[in-house]
Structure 1
Amino acid sequence: MDSQEFIDRCKVLVAEYTNNHLDVTDNKAIIPREVYVVWSAKTLQNNKALLSTPLSDGMYYEVTFNGDKNEIYFDAYKKFENIKYDL
């Protein structure tokens, strides 16, 4: 799987996951083109990406493609805090 195909698939997975977990009374839905990539990398046959959506829900997503096994792993996280420390 090349990098663009991987990113396109990631955006679909994140949009589907987000839409399946939104409160239906909010009357919102995300489409794949609204999902954005924060970071991505490809090493040999493997890919990894961190993604998010424009929703203010504090969620971000990590998607990994294992090229040896032809498997995708999907992790969903919620950001609770961002603390600055002066050094």
Structure 2
Amino acid sequence: MMRLVERSNLALEPEDVLVLPEQVGGHASERDYVDDVAWLARSCGCHVVGGSHIRETDQGLVNCGVVTDGSGSILAEYEKANPYGPELEVEACH
């Protein structure tokens, strides 16, 4: 993802928000996904909405994500409330 940002020659500012696509984290571990989103935010110096990734829970798999500020600190975590299409087979928590 960082290579795409670098190639775009964007001049990102601290008040900018970089929004990543859904399931950008795929089936990465939750720790790797969060670390990658935080690293991207620190590297770009702006807020990042981390798309989503699949997290395993006791109730099943959940499509969820994080939002960070430019320092990489987590501001919010979220779970997709209304899965659709193939996600209905993945979402088992709600």
Q: Pick the TM interval, shorter chain.
A: 0.3 to 0.5
The TM-score normalised by the length of structure 1 is 0.33
Greater relative CO (CA pairs within 8 A, separation 6+): 2
